[in-house]
Amino acid sequence: MKFPIIPLEYLNHFVRGYFDGDGTVYLGFRKRPGGKLGLKRLITVFSSGSTRFLNAFSDILAKRIAIRKANINDGHRCFQIKYSLRESIELFKFMYNNVRGLCLERKFDKFEKFFNERPKYRDSEVLEFIG
């Protein structure tokens, strides 16, 4: 599958739609002293049946929002690209820029949970989206 030509002013909406359909966000937890669970990591994943599509997608994200070009991993039934903490935060800012309720709420809520648990990662841009 070939990556479509997307005008730059619509790219964040395309990425968010793709994420809502074929992406996921993982929150990793660990036990803190006293036995409470604490949030440790944030990982954003995009899946596809096409390495060609994922390669172009990763290139565009790397150029547009200045994150690393992701390696393509062979998943169980698909190919995936994964982004770690800092890149996931930049993806969040990019995907939800100029968006008012046009997203899959349960995925947005996972990001929001991360920022509420780890307030040191909330900057003015993040606060604009999560309040």
* Selection from 105, 107, 110, 112 nearest residue 126 by Cα: 112
pLDDT at 94: 96
Please give the backbone phi and psi of residue 77, each rounded to the nearest 5 degrees, phi first.
Answer: -130, 10
- CB-facing half-sphere around the CA of 4: CA atoms within 13 A: 8
Q: Which CATH class is domain 8-130?
A: alpha beta
User: Which pLDDT tens digit goes with each residue over 78-93?
Assistant: 999 999 999 999 999 9
Q: What is the pLDDT of residue 115?
A: 93
Distance from C-alpha of 78 to C-alpha of 99, rounded to nearest angstrom: 29
Which CA distances in Å does 3 have to 28, 29, 57, 60, 93? 31, 35, 7, 10, 22
Report pLDDT for 32.
73
Segments of the chain scoring below 50 in pLDDT = none
| Residue spans per domain, the chain | 8-130
pLDDT, one tens digit per residue, over 53-75 is: 999 999 999 999 999 999 999 97
Asked if residue 37 lies in contact with residue 30, where contact means CB atoms within 8 angstroms, the answer is yes
3-state secondary structure (DSSP) of residue 9: helix
